Amino acid sequence: MVQGLTDRDFFTVFRNELFSLAPKMIFVWIIVEKLMTGLLFNKKLARFIAIYISLMLAFAFWLRLIDNYIILRYFLTHWTREPLWSIAPFLYNVIKLQFLLTIPFCVKLYRHLAISSNAAQQVAATAGEKEFLYIKCERRMIRLSFDDIYYFEAQGNYLTAFTVTGTFKTYLSISDLEDKLPAAMFTRIHRSFVVALNKVESHTGSLVMIGNRKIPIGRSYIPKIRNSLL
């Protein structure tokens, strides 16, 4: 647009730029999709800069070849052709490449930083989660470590926790229990059972094995637990 405004001929400028569109797109793609992902985001800054400068010079020279041997020879024949190694037009191509790269580079960098920030927040949230559960058993509060729990079984209005240290019965609904457990460690596989995923020794499409206990999988829960268990 700037060049067309200067020359007062947008069509000619647009047509001439089409010849150099392919190398420009290739340059931007290599830098944004390959170098940034493979080197810059992996903190290999020195290699990124070295390869980036080399590619920039190589593609700037490619654009000079297009300018000299296509555009100036067949379209802008009234323009004066400068030597291939002239510094001014070569630097002009370098500036054009830098300009074209600015927005894709910033967008890629922003997305990377956003993903990294979200991942850091998730790690912090996971680290801050409780590692135990309090239940009321025989008129006292019992603390159960998540790592010690095998599974829970609902029995009427009561819930029994089967753990490494024994069994504990509490007055709690299985739905309320689900709200107190981390979804990454426990899953409900039946209307009466919630199991610890790391304690499942084997499973089929209809049951799981925890120790010597065969626990059925409810048919309505199969789609829900397919990713986490099956």
Question: Of 52 and 206, which is predicted with more confidence?
Answer: 52
* pLDDT tier at 101, thresholds 50, 70, 90: very high
Mean pLDDT of 3-7: 51
pLDDT tens per residue, range 190-203: 999 999 998 988 88
Query: Measuring CA to CA, which residue among 225, 165, 226, 164 is closest to residue 193?
Result: 225
| All domains of the chain in start order, with CATH | 2-128 (no CATH), 132-225 (2.40.50.1020)
- Identify residue 37 by its one-letter amino acid code: T
Query: Residue 54 pLDDT > 90, yes or no?
Result: yes
pLDDT tens per residue, range 149-169: 999 999 888 899 999 999 999
Query: Residue 58 pLDDT > 80, yes or no?
Result: yes
Report how far apart the first and last C-alpha atoms of the chain are (Å, whole number). Answer: 57
For residue 140, give the H/E element and its range.
Answer: strand 140-145
Q: Is the pTM of this model over 0.75?
A: no
* pLDDT tier at 140, thresholds 50, 70, 90: confident
* pLDDT tier at 6, thresholds 50, 70, 90: low
Burial (CB < 10 A; 0-12, 13-18, 19+), residue 209, is middle
Range in 8-22, 79-93, 126-140 the model is least confident about: 8-22
Q: List beta partners, residue 216.
A: 207
